[in-house]
């Protein structure tokens, strides 16, 4: 389908619909990167390996092997033998010496894509994806390295992963295992990444690539609020519509590194994988280590095409939930409405009022278990607090169902409170460094999920609650980052395995959950958006985007998130004003329009908001039902960005058949003496005639894209407007 091997040239050619990726093998067996970019007609370009010029390959000039290794465009780099650029694999042998060098031995091309045991990874059937395995050997270590490439033809995506197998009789330690490497000549590349903090996650950052190493990384035990497991190398002219983009995205929910390096010879090396900080893995004889997956995407039509390729890829090949293409229920969450101060009657009052407005689900957030009246106790004690829920959980759920709403519930299974029955019984189940006081965050410790008994306890605690009542949705939270990484479960030379084993424990928990409860709607969360990554999408079709629900702050947060992820997985709610985070007051209509570019729901006390705001909810609900198919499945186009100093923000979603388009425009700051804004649409059928629903006006697609439409009538700050166009042929 898309993978070919030219035996004579020893070149692999991996083709998607619009891209090609070329790998070459030298006479000695070095596996080199030749090309990644716009689709080529043939498997050429072998000269780009530069094996015919100084420094020659070791078979020609052994005395300069070090110079060769330090310049050869490696497909997967190793450390300790002469390549002084960033290595992807560092191995320490039984004598404590670090060095690794592997050589091509054979390869295999298969239809479809095997699963990665214990890890989230993309999937696809024969006809959708084809996979190349390049089998390599380090004959000194008896270490076999399998480089895997899966080609998703239609989405223009290639995924990579690496598997290591110790086939010898001596143990070794993996000190660093990255998942992908991309070596290229520099083309004045700039580096694009996402940065942030709590309540301001995933802001887009772009800077020139300078000499040395520049990286985004996390050592917090999760992908983090602060940095994101993504980087892109882009040519200077790149915009939404033009320029070349090389994107890399890591399918992992723990410590990561995403790094670009510009070296002395104007070569660029981009790498991605598990952060080597605090990482070391014992690879015993016959043992296997599977590294997580990295997603590669190339676009020669700017950021917009990159985003749409990734959106389609994640919808089609990462999200397994039956909700991936289903309309999500409109929920109301009680957190910002009540915090810890609620009881059965208060929740039922919210449910009754919500039902009147067309809301479809009530979610009970933190505070329903143990002795939890604030955040200083009871994590781990997953038993119903019957002082609050006086008639029990099942009765509450039944009553909410009788009102006509589904029911959802909040958990934080990965944490343990010092003041909890679980900690008093099992203090050894918290991560700790012997002799040190455990660092608290939100008065929480971290449950040691490298322990199978802790994983089993956490799972049964959640599953027992879900089995007890008709619960349709779970919000899975994680409200602190990891430190004090230590356990008596493993010897001193294996403490470096704990952070990765923790992540594997999280994956095991969520895999068991979706297997036992396949129809459950699971939403991941970590203090807002600290674990918004492709790994989590494998288990949950939506992730809470940020604890900042202010509509204006959300513009940048949701723009950065939609840069990589489908709108349908972005958890977004309408909240009360003044906003609880920034205390800004924005119109209720604007809060609704911004939340519409996500999963859409409410985070407020519907029994206390103004009558004027309450009356808008049924209309917003109707709006969601009308446009949800576009949000769920449509193509996303960024039209204007407030983050780029525009006074307004604008995006559009176009149906796959190009017969519908929904445009959202938010005026952030009004300006004096300003004309209307001219907005030029994107992604339409040039010859199609479109009707603007609001006025009945008719426009041709090329007219909307070249001449644009005029946005007027937005008077004052934080105003917004929706424009819905439909093919005139559709009636």
* Active site members: 477, 547
For tokens 């709108």, name the residue. 567
Determine the Cα–Cα distance for residues 162 and 250; give it in Å rounded to an integer. Answer: 13
Encoding tokens for residue 400?
């909410």
Determine the Cα–Cα distance for residues 480 and 222; give it in Å rounded to an integer. Answer: 10
Q: Could you write out the three-class secondary structure of 353-415?
A: HHHHHCCCEEEECCCCECCCCCCCCCCCCCCECCCCCCCCHHHHHHHHHHHCCEEEEEECCCE
Encoding tokens for residue 435?
């002799």
Determine the Cα–Cα distance for residues 79 and 63; give it in Å rounded to an integer. Answer: 19
Going through 428-578 in order, the beta strands assigned E by DSSP cover 445-446, 473-476, 521-524, 542-544, 570-571, 574-575
Handedness of CA 496, 502, 503, 508 (dihedral sign): positive
Own/partner contacts of 702-711, CB < 8 Å, gap of 24 or more, are 704/680, 705/680, 705/681, 706/680, 707/680, 708/678, 708/679, 708/680, 708/681, 709/663, 709/678, 709/679, 709/681, 710/676, 710/677, 710/678, 710/679, 711/648, 711/650, 711/665, 711/676, 711/677, 711/678, 711/679
Backbone angles phi, psi at 349, to 5 degrees: -60, -45
Contact 596, 724 (CB under 8 A): no
The secondary structure element, H or E, covering residue 104 is strand 103-111
Determine the Cα–Cα distance for residues 633 and 282; give it in Å rounded to an integer. Answer: 44
Residue 731 makes CB contacts below 8 A (sequence gap 6+) with: none
Backbone angles phi, psi at 516, to 5 degrees: -75, -30
Q: How far is CA 2 from the centre of its chain?
A: 26
Determine the Cα–Cα distance for residues 283 and 167; give it in Å rounded to an integer. Answer: 10
Q: How far is CA 580 from CA 123, 508, 603, 604, in A?
A: 40, 35, 11, 10
Comparing CA positions, the residue from 302, 415, 435, 421 lying closest to residue 370 is 421
Determine the Cα–Cα distance for residues 52 and 23; give it in Å rounded to an integer. Answer: 17
Residue 716 makes CB contacts below 8 A (sequence gap 6+) with: 667, 670
Angle at 358 between CA 356 and CA 361, to 5 degrees: 105
Pairing of strands 601-603, 574-575: parallel
Axis-axis angle for helices 452-468, 498-516 (nearest 10) = 30
Q: How far is CA 537 from CA 192, 542, 654, in A?
A: 22, 7, 23
């Amino acid at each position: 389908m898309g993978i070919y091997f030219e035996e004579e040239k020893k070149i692999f050619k991996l083709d998607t619909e619009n891209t090609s990726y070329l790998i070459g093998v030298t006479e000695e067996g070095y596996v080199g990167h030749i090309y990644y970019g716009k689709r080529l007609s043939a498997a050429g370009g072998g000269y780009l390996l530069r094996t015919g010029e100084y420094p020659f390959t070791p078979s020609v000039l052994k005395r300069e092997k070090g110079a060769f290794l330090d310049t050869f465009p490696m497909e997967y780099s190793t450390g300790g033998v002469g390549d002084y650029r960033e290595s992807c694999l560092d191995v320490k042998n039984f004598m404590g010496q670090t060095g690794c060098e592997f050589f091509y031995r054979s390869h295999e091309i298969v239809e479809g894509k095997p699963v990665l045991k214990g890890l989230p990874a993309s999937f696809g059937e024969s006809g959708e994806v084809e996979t190349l395995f390049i089998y390599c050997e380090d004959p000194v270590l008896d270490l076999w390295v399998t480089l895997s490439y899966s080609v998703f033809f239609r989405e223009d995506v290639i995924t990579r992963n690496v598997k290591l197998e110790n086939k010898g009789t001596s143990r070794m330690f993996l000190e660093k295992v990255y998942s992908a490497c991309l070596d290229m000549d520099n083309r004045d590349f700039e580096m694009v990444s996402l940065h942030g903090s709590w309540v301001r996650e995933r802001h887009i950052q772009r800077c020139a690539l300078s000499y040395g190493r520049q990286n985004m990384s996390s050592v917090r035990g999760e992908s983090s609020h602060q940095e994101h497991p993504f980087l892109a190398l882009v040519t200077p002219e790149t915009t939404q519509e033009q320029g070349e983009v090389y994107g890399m995205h890591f399918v992992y929910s723990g410590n990561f590194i995403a790094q670009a390096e510009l070296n002395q010879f104007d070569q660029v090396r981009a790498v991605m994988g598990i952060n080597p900080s605090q990482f070391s893995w014992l690879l015993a004889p016959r043992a296997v280590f599977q590294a997580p997956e990295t997603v590669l995407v190339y676009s020669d039509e700017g950021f917009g095409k990159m985003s749409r390729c990734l959106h389609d890829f994640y919808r089609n090949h990462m999200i397994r939930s039956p909700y991936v293409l289903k309309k999500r229920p409109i929920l109301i969450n009680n957190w910002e409405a009540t915090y810890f101060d609620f009881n059965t009657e208060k929740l039922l009052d919210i449910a009754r009022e919500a039902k009147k407005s067309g809301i479809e689900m009530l979610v009970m957030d933190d505070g329903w278990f143990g002795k939890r009246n604030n955040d200083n106790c009871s994590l781990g004690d997953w038993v119903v607090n019957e002082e609050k829920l006086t008639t029990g959980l099942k009765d509450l759920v039944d009553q909410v169902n009788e009102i006509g709403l589904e029911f959802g519930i909040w958990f934080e299974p990965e944490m343990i409170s010092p003041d909890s029955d679980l900690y008093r019984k099992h203090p050894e189940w918290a991560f700790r460094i012997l002799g040190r006081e455990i660092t608290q965050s939100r008065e929480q410790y971290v449950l040691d999920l490298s322990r199978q008994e802790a994983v089993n306890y956490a799972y049964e605690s959640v599953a027992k609650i879900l089995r007890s009542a008709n619960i349709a949705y779970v919000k899975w939270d994680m409200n602190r980052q990891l430190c004090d990484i230590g356990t008596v479960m493993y010897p001193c030379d294996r403490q470096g395995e704990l952070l990765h084993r923790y992540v594997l424990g999280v994956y095991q928990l969520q895999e068991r959950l979706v297997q036992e409860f396949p129809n459950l709607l699971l939403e991941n969360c970590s203090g807002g958006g600290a674990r918004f990554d492709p790994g989590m999408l494998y288990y949950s079709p939506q992730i809470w985007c940020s604890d900042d629900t202010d509509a204006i702050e959300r513009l940048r947060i949701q723009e950065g998130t939609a840069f990589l992820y489908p709108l349908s997985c972005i958890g977004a709610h309408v909240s009360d004003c003044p906003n609880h985070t920034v205390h800004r007051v924005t119109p209720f209509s604007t809060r609704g329009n911004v939340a519409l570019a996500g999963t859409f729901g409410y985070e407020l006390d519907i029994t206390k908001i103004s009558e004027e705001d309450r009356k808008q909810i049924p209309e917003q609900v109707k709006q969601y039902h009308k446009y949800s198919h576009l949000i769920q499945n449509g193509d996303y186009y960024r039209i204007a960005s407030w983050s780029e100093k525009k006074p307004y923000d604008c995006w559009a979603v176009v149906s796959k058949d190009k017969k519908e388009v929904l445009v959202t425009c938010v005026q952030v700051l009004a300006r004096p003496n300003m004309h209307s804004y001219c907005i030029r649409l994107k992604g339409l059928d040039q010859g199609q005639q479109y009707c603007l629903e609001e006025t009945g006006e008719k426009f041709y697609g090329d007219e909307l894209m070249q001449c644009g439409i005029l946005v007027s009538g937005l008077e004052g700050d934080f105003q917004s407007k929706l424009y819905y166009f439909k093919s005139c042929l559709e009636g």
